[in-house]
C-alpha cells in the first residue's frame, strides 16, 4: 500500500492504443487502485479501462490503425490527439504517466513528459529485439521505467542503464496451462473423436478482408481430406461476425461443419487439435494454451516490405521468436493461399508425433512466461516503487 503525501489525490496518466492494450491497462488500473488510496486515472482507454475507472479523453479507436503505410493516412489526426494529451498532462502534472504498448504513439508523448519532469513508465517493451532496434535510444530518452513481459528483455535495458523490471506476460495469468479438451468440446457439441480446427482470421476488419475467404477455402480443402472435421470460428465483434458470415455465404458448402460465434476464443482454442490464425496476439494465446498452430498473414505490400527490411529475425510469429526457430509453420503474403495452408495442415494432422512435439515445446514456453504473482500485480508494485522514490525526493 502506497502512503500518499497528506492523503492527497494521486493523478496517473495512462494511454492504451488498441484492444489488447485496453485489457492490459484495465488489469493494471485495478491492481494500482487496490494499493493506492485516492488514485485517479486519466488518458485514453477502451471499454475495459473505462469500466476499471479511467477517464478517457479520446476514443481508443482513434489510435487503432494497422500497418505502417495506413498510419500515414491518419497521421495528422493522431498527432493532434497527442498534442492535446501533452497539453493536458503538462497542466495537470500526473505523478506518473503509463504508456500501455502503442510505442509509436506513446514514446513521443513519454519523451515530452519525462523532459518536463514527469516520471514515465512503458508497459510492455517494444520488440526492439525483433526489428527497429535503433529505437532503444529513443526509449532511453523517453522512459523512466520499462516493464518487460519476456525475461530476456530486462537485461537488454539494464545493459543500457535504463531501469527495467520483468513482470511476466499478463495473458499468462488469464489462460490455464492445463485445460480439458473434452470439456471444451462439450460446449461446442463436438465429439472427442472429431478433428477440431479453430480458424482465427483476425480481430480487425482489414485482417478479415485479407484472410477470411482464404481460411474458408482452406477449411473446404481440409474437410475433403478428413471427413470428421469441425471448424470453430470465434469472432471478436458483431461487425467481424457479420462480415465473416457474408463471406461464408458466398462460399456455401453444406458438407462442411463451420461454427461461427462471438467471443469465447480461448475455449475454442482449448477444444482444438490445431489452430489456423492470423499473426498477432492470438498466437501468444495459443502458445500459452499449448495448442499447435499454423500462422498466416497478409498485409499491404508496401507495409510488408518496410517491415521485412527493418526486421532482424526470420520469424514473424511470437512462438517462433520465443523458440528461436520455426517451431510452427508461418505462411505470409502470397504464400498464404488455401492450397499451401491446407497442405501444411493436412501434413501435420497426418503426423501425430510432430503435433505432440510442437505441443510439448509450446507448454515449455508457456511455463517460462508465468510467475508466482500476476503480471499486473508485479507491474503495480514496480510503479509504486517508482512513486515512492518520487515522493522521497519531491514530497
What is the residue-averaged pLDDT of the chain? 88
Strand partners, 230: 196, 257
What's the fold here for domain 5-168+371-393?
Answer: Rossmann fold (3.40.50)
Q: What's the whole-number mean pLDDT along residues 174-197?
A: 89
pLDDT per residue as tens digits for the range 226-262: 989 999 999 988 988 999 989 887 766 667 899 999 9
Which of 3.40.50.2020, 3.40.630.10, 3.30.565.10, 3.40.50.2000 is the CATH number of 181-368? 3.40.50.2000
| The pLDDT of residue 186 is above 80 | yes
CA 201, 27, 91 angle in degrees (round to 5)? 110
Residue 65 has a pLDDT of 52
Rg for the chain, CA atoms, rounded: 22
Burial (CB count <10 Å: 0-12, 13-18, 19+), residue 137: exposed
pLDDT per residue as tens digits for the range 27-48: 999 999 999 989 999 999 999 9
Reading the block at residue 213, the C-alpha cell is 475467404
C-alpha pair distances (Å), 6 with each of 3, 37, 288, 292, 395: 8, 11, 44, 54, 10
pLDDT per residue as tens digits for the range 356-369: 999 999 999 988 88
Residue 134 has a pLDDT of 78
Cβ atoms 177, 210 nearer than 8 A: no
Helices (H), the chain: 19-33, 47-52, 68-73, 75-92, 103-115, 135-142, 151-158, 170-174, 181-187, 205-225, 238-250, 265-271, 281-289, 301-310, 318-323, 338-349, 352-368, 375-393
Least-confidence region, from 84-93, 103-112, 293-302: 293-302
Q: How far apart are CA 395 and CA 392, in angstroms?
A: 6
| The pLDDT of residue 66 is above 90 | no
| Helices 205-225 and 338-349: angle between axes, nearest 10 degrees | 50
CATH 3.40.50.2000 domain range(s) in the chain: 5-168+371-393, 181-368
Cβ atoms 252, 226 nearer than 8 A: no
Amino acid at each position: 500500500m502506497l502512503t500518499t503525501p497528506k492523503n492527497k489525490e494521486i493523478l496517473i496518466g495512462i494511454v492504451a492504443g488498441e484492444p489488447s492494450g485496453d485489457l492490459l491497462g484495465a488489469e493494471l488500473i485495478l491492481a494500482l487502485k487496490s494499493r493506492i488510496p485516492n488514485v485517479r486515472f486519466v488518458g485514453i482507454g477502451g471499454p475495459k479501462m473505462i469500466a476499471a475507472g479511467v477517464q478517457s479523453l479520446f476514443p481508443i479507436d482513434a489510435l487503432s490503425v494497422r500497418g505502417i503505410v495506413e498510419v500515414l493516412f491518419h497521421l495528422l489526426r493522431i498527432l493532434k490527439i497527442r498534442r492535446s494529451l501533452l497539453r493536458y498532462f503538462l497542466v495537470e502534472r500526473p505523478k506518473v504517466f503509463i504508456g500501455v504498448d502503442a510505442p509509436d504513439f506513446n514514446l513521443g508523448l513519454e519523451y515530452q513528459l519525462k523532459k518536463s519532469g514527469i516520471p514515465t513508465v512503458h508497459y510492455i517493451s517494444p520488440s526492439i529485439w525483433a526489428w527497429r532496434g535503433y529505437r532503444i535510444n529513443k526509449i532511453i530518452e523517453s522512459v523512466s521505467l520499462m516493464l518487460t513481459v519476456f525475461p530476456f528483455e530486462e537485461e537488454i535495458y539494464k545493459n543500457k542503464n535504463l531501469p527495467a523490471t520483468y513482470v511476466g506476460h499478463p495473458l499468462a495469468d488469464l489462460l490455464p496451462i492445463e485445460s480439458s479438451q473434452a470439456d471444451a468440446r462439450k460446449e461446442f457439441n463436438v465429439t472427442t473423436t472429431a478433428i477440431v480446427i479453430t480458424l482465427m482470421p483476425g480481430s480487425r476488419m482489414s485482417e478479415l478482408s485479407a484472410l477470411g475467404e482464404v481460411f474458408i477455402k482452406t477449411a473446404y480443402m481440409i474437410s475433403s481430406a478428413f471427413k470428421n472435421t469441425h471448424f470453430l470460428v470465434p469472432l471478436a465483434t458483431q461487425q467481424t461476425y457479420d462480415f465473416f458470415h457474408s463471406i461464408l455465404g458466398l462460399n456455401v458448402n453444406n458438407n462442411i461443419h463451420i461454427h461461427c460465434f462471438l467471443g469465447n476464443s480461448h475455449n475454442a482454442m482449448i477444444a482444438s487439435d490445431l489452430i489456423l490464425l492470423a499473426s498477432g496476439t492470438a498466437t501468444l494465446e495459443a502458445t500459452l494454451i499449448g495448442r499447435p498452430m499454423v500462422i498466416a498473414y497478409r498485409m499491404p505490400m508496401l507495409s510488408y516490405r518496410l517491415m521485412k527490411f527493418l526486421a532482424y529475425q526470420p520469424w514473424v510469429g511470437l512462438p517462433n521468436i520465443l523458440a528461436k526457430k520455426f517451431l510452427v509453420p508461418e505462411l505470409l503474403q502470397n504464400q498464404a493461399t488455401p492450397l499451401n495452408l491446407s497442405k501444411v495442415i493436412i501434413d501435420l494432422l497426418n503426423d501425430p508425433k510432430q503435433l505432440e512435439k510442437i505441443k510439448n515445446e509450446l507448454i515449455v514456453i508457456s511455463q517460462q512466461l508465468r510467475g508466482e504473482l500476476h503480471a499486473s500485480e508485479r507491474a503495480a508494485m514496480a510503479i509504486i516503487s517508482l512513486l515512492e522514490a518520487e515522493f522521497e525526493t519531491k514530497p
